[in-house]
Structure 1
Amino acid sequence: MASRRSAWRNVVQGGGISGEASPSLEDVSTSSARADSGKPNDGAGPRKVLRLIETLCHAQEPLRLAELASGAAVSKPTAHRLLATLVAEGWAVAYPGGRYGIGPTASGIGAAVGQGRRHTTVEAVLVELQERIGQTIHVGLRSGDRIVYTHKVEGVQPFAFLSRVGMQQPLHSTAIGKCVLAGLDAQALADLVARTGLERRTERTLTTLDALSAELAAVRERGFALDDEENEPNVRCLAAPVHTPDGRTVGAVSVSTVTFVTGHDEVLALADAVRDTARRVESVMA
């Protein structure tokens, strides 16, 4: 059980690439340990780096330097030095306004864990759903201000989607992303939209905060989200949220099809099966 609970620490919430030239992680860790303790490096530097990464992983929103330093139990100068390297190496992302989030390097590791140690069990659950409905199935998790696909099972139709494990997609225009956004409070949603905007992906994309908020209220009420050609023309997806043991929405299970094969009502009829699969995925990952 302990190993399963720790697996959730690999659910990451970072995205984008930002950085500047900086010393190596080893150099920064060593100098940090000596500066803080006045003693030769005894492993304290690497532990501080790991605490910073863990603090970033558990944060639901980008954190200010002071919040990061407090959460990782390090001084602000030490946090600043270590973050310079974490940003340069892709482990952290520097956002406007002096905030930091987890970066794409950690996102890739989180996806690899999904494909590795727990891949067989999660995929078995997804394959069972695919065999019932014949459609393409994805699991996606939040990665900063986007979602990243961690699992994919192809459908049986004579067409294929270009999605792949590790691919990132927007939150506001995908069914998986809407599930994640539906788990945010109003202020967190407004802050995210202020950071990212609402890109018009198709003629059907929701591009105002009011319209998106109304849609997310419907998602919370019915327990699933629908992407009705909002991210790609002719592609329709339905997703049900995946939660951590403490109730946070970190991703979703989705079914994807094309409008010229599966009608709107036919997709809605899959909601119970997708919700059941999402609950089983939660159980595997808990």
Structure 2
Amino acid sequence: MVQSVDRALTIIKIVSSRKEGIGVTELANKLGLNKSSIFRLLETLAAHGFIEQNKENKKYKLGYQFLELSTKLLESIDIRQEAIPYLRQLEEISNEVIHLVIYSQKEAVYIEKLEGSETLRMHSQVGRRAPIHCTSAGKVILAQLSVTEVKEIVQQRGLPRHTEKTLTTEKELLENLSMIRTQGYGIEREENEPGITCIAAPIFNHLGEVAGAISISGTSLRMNDEKIASIKDTLIEVGKKVSERLGYRG
């Protein structure tokens, strides 16, 4: 490693852990360096906007350059690219259809679909809107929204019946969303397509807002209680890992 770069990065890490700031003397003691060396490193970091000095107490804190860079990083994150390795992991352990859904402008949209190794015909297609009230992915997204926002979506789009098991009243839907929110995942049993059962977990962005969901879909015969119990923890963990890749720190 380049020693000076290593020291500068170490200083950044120490400064970032001290909300109230830190002085040159304390930094020198922590790193075992003389104050003149620490001061030169701090001045260099300050020149690039990574460190700032409080003129009143002379302590150093992180500079706004980090905020600018983090914003650029978050803007460049591709949720599909970040999620794909985890989607393949789910496909491998379940052998079922895997969906990646994003939440955009009050709609749930399929942006990735892995077919799995089992035979299954589904209406879902990449680029199409997922029925938000009767798919596991859609309901997991709704469960993270306020009741007011859910009611607005229901008022705008209604609760059209897709099968005999579709929840078609606001009361039923809100009760189901409450349960999903509590348990951290959602299950949809033949509410969207006859003979199809799905389970989904939410994805969150760096602001703590729901960004989408990941779901596993299969025939109701295969996706029984036993199989759901065996894969739900892995699905929830994958949702957390993708959320972390998007900057979520909940």
Residue 263 of structure 1: how far off its partner (Å): 1.5
Q: What stretches of structure 1 move > 6 A for 4+ residues in a row? A: none
Q: What residue is the counterpart of 2:136 in the other structure? A: 175
Structure 2: runs of 5+ lacking an equivalent? 1-69
Give 1:246's match in structure 2, choosing from 198, 207, 214.
207
Residue 154 of structure 1: how far off its partner (Å): 1.6
Q: What residue is the counterpart of 1:99 in the other structure? A: none
Judged with a 3 Å threshold, the aligned counterparts in structure 2 of structure 1 residues 278 and 201 are, in CA distance, closer, same or farther, namely same
Q: How far apart are the structure 1 equivalents of 2:191 and 2:212?
A: 18
* Counterpart contact for 1:149–1:164, Cα < 8 Å: yes
Q: How far apart are the structure 1 equivalents of 2:210 and 2:193?
A: 24
Judged with a 3 Å threshold, the aligned counterparts in structure 2 of structure 1 residues 246 and 143 are, in CA distance, closer, same or farther, namely closer
Q: How far apart are the structure 2 equivalents of 1:264 and 1:202?
A: 21
* Equivalent AA in structure 1 for residue 105 of structure 2: G
Structure 1: runs of 5+ lacking an equivalent? 9-112
Deviates more, 1:206-215 or 1:127-136: 127-136
Q: How far apart are the structure 1 equivalents of 2:117 and 2:72?
A: 35
Helix, strand or coil at the partner of 1:283:
helix
Alignment of 1:1-286 (within 5 A): 1-7=70-76, 114=79, 119=81, 121-286=82-247
Name the % identity.
29
* Counterpart contact for 2:120–2:218, Cα < 8 Å: no
Q: What residue is the counterpart of 1:59 in the other structure? A: none
- 1:166-210 CA-partner distances (Å, limit 9, x unpaired): 111111101111111111112111122111111111100111111
Helix, strand or coil at the partner of 2:100:
strand
Judged with a 3 Å threshold, the aligned counterparts in structure 2 of structure 1 residues 172 and 129 are, in CA distance, closer, same or farther, namely same
* Counterpart contact for 2:198–2:223, Cα < 8 Å: no
* Counterpart contact for 2:96–2:218, Cα < 8 Å: yes
* Counterpart contact for 1:240–1:253, Cα < 8 Å: yes
TM-score after normalising by structure 2: 0.66
* Equivalent AA in structure 2 for residue 163 of structure 1: S
* Counterpart contact for 1:238–1:268, Cα < 8 Å: no
* Equivalent AA in structure 2 for residue 210 of structure 1: K
Judged with a 3 Å threshold, the aligned counterparts in structure 2 of structure 1 residues 199 and 162 are, in CA distance, closer, same or farther, namely closer
Q: How far apart are the structure 2 equivalents of 1:171 and 1:159?
A: 21
* Counterpart contact for 1:179–1:249, Cα < 8 Å: no
Q: How far apart are the structure 1 equivalents of 2:157 and 2:131?
A: 9
Residue 162 of structure 1: how far off its partner (Å): 4.0
TM-score after normalising by structure 1: 0.58
* Counterpart contact for 1:123–1:153, Cα < 8 Å: no
Q: How far apart are the structure 2 equivalents of 1:241 and 1:277?
A: 9
Judged with a 3 Å threshold, the aligned counterparts in structure 2 of structure 1 residues 285 and 232 are, in CA distance, closer, same or farther, namely same
* Equivalent AA in structure 1 for residue 178 of structure 2: A
